[in-house]
Structure 1
Amino acid sequence: MIKRLLPSSDLFKNISTLVIGFLAAQLIAILLQGVMRRMYPVEDFGVYEVFISITGILLVVASLRYEMAVVLPEKKEDAVNLVFTGVFSSFSFNIVLLLLIYFFEGSILSFLNLEPHHGFMLYYLPAAIFLFSTYQVFNYYLVRRKAYKEISVNKISRRLSEGGGQVFFALADKLNTGLIWGNMLGHVVNIVAGGIQMLRNGFSVKSFSIRRQWYLARKYKEFPIYNMLPALLNAICMHLPLLLINKFYDPETTAHFGLTKNVLVLPASILTVSISQVLLQSISEKCRAKESFISDLNRILVLLGILAVVMTLLILLWAPKLFALYAGQEYYISGVYARIIVAGAALKLVVAPVSNLFIPLNKIKVYSLWQAVYFLMISGLFLMSHLQIQTFLYAFLIIDVIAYGALLVIILYLSHKYEKSINQQEN
């Protein structure tokens, strides 16, 4: 069914290469996580989930979004200097972050509901964010050079080195820090591999110019001014529920929810990567030509709906036993949590891959407004600290169902409005 939607072009081949790398990397991560959940204490995984969530939020602002501008300049020298601009921005951001952690460590730990002996985790954050954001800048340079195979190899090598490092540190009895050290190792391998590939793809430090970087920072200032806030809100919506669970409950509950979230989010992540970019390209062409795309959209939604129903049935019928089999009996409760929030995850699976239709329809402001409202709704979870964990998850479910249900309705409304407009033009 999807094949009829996919263009036979270099674009699809390039996207397929990225998707294969993404799938392989995620498969490696999932398989290794099942092993590591048995090797590390549940509390350690809870603290690690907090570490990953904070990294995920701050990552989107570290390089001031200049990484996205790397693909735009006509001159290679400007692209090179934008790479340096992004790296220097991230370095400066993380120096400030390190100082904030040093002066406010106690307050941060208290807000996150972490014990004082978990304070070490905070000091790894600037390094992890810098390493990850630096590779993101490198990655956009490789995208500019259409080095898609190299990007896929990097995704796989990162997951292998990260997981391998975490297993090694567990065997070396470094349980307290092993998960974070393994994560850092994955980032280091990523940067080394990415740096080598950049040099092979025309990157040259001879183009380095501080004056040019300052000029380019001003030229592409719309990225930090207009793109950074929506990206930050999206990241907060994604990671805030887990941070609040740790704040309201304990690291063990966080670890259980973290596994639930990782498993349920995976299908939507894969389908968003594999469908959204291809669908965007296909529908953008039809919008430019004033052609109908509603049949394409309907077929995709039906397919995604079938997958969502299958996922929901699997979770409702067997989730607790499957989670216990996968990660150990301690994670049986993760399957119980999955049963509660699976409807929201299933709806995301349907809506997320088609949510970029706002771009060809020139309705980015509508999507930004929805993102702001969703952020306010998610922020409402701050008021629910008195609830039992399962009741809290039902509240989270209701928010997700309302928000993504509304987003689906908006997408369908705008799509049919477009169809109506082109039909009127034909008549």
Structure 2
Amino acid sequence: MPALVLLGAQWGDEGKGKATDLLGGSVDYVVRYQGGNNAGHTVVVGDQKYALHLLPSGILSPGCTPVIGNGVVVDPSVLLSELSGLNERGVDTSKLLLSGNAHIITPYNVTVDKVTERFLGKRKIGTTGRGIGPTYADKINRVGIRVQDLYDESILTQKVEAALDVKNQVLTKLYNRRAIAVEQVVEELLGYADKLAPYVSDTVLVLNQALEEDKVVLFEGGQGTLLDIDHGTYPFVTSSNPTAGGACTGAGVGPTKISRVIGILKAYTTRVGAGPFPTELFDEDGEALRRIGGERGVTTGRDRRCGWFDAVIARYATRVNGLTDFFLTKLDVLTGWEQIPVCVAYEIDGKRVEELPYSQTDFHHAKPVYEMLPGWTEDISKAKTFGDLPKNAQAYVKALEEMSGAPISAIGVGPGRNETIEINSFI
């Protein structure tokens, strides 16, 4: 049963798009199983750069069927805009499948997201303001709007009324905002129905039948392990489960059908938004990582916070996801440092801690314990095999592999599709 999960092993932005694109020519389906347009992938094909937000990276691979699973929250205007943009660039998007059970991000979800963040002030979470959290909250509160509801005006109207009964009270009385008209929302959502109809499908049935026919299915997570609603640095997390278990619930396949779980690991560490970050740098090294690595969010446009590699969170990601492999990205960014610090443990209240503390308080107070590894100055972007790398770069990769708890099976040495060293095949 050739089903693979590919996910972020840090705080997201690890280069999942490159990894998915690399595998795209070898798989039959690529499935997004959670998140929304708060996630983003950059894929470089030749001299073309593609920024994807909702669409699975597999949409750039001819012969691959891209799928948006039931666990994703979908902003119809963003999805249609993204499809239109790719079509204009000659990309065939006709094979896309969209789960009828995926939840819709409504205009009022976006409004609630933005006004809540403003209201929180210094205590804000650092959301993207795109309505992701409020949409997942509606889903759990059982007042959410699903894709299939766009095709029954009566049900859609009832659901929007139910949601706005409460939200309008909050908007007008707490945030001093105007009430949102039910009719206006219903009219806007119905306007998307015909445009989305060619893509809407029973994706759970399609994917399970594909696996029964020995098709290769790749499940692609958005964000990263440390942003998982259950297993991340709560409350500075996303509103869904990017970890491996989320692939089962977000796509409707059983765990026994997953054969491999691949963690994408950047050769250093970044995160976007608020929250603890033990190895974060506020000096010239941090600025250099940001500049050389092009560390700006694909979706948010915000500069990413940068720091040295953190082996503690890598080990944690291995554990909670059951990782079988790592794909190490952006090794080339570290070229030029004489020595490269790697966080091997934390110091918390004077004690050395080698595993991620479960206590939020402890994690906030964690100070990195560094081990210095020798750097390299040689250009590695043309390396095709592990042996082509400078000895110190090889030693760095081997050290990260040993510290992280799973084999590194591929290494990114540049942004291009072909700038990857494959050590072990994923398929």
State the TM-score, normalized to the length of structure 2: 0.30
Give the TM-score, by structure 1 length.
0.30
- Greater share of helix: 1
Q: Give the structure with the larger strand fraction.
A: 2
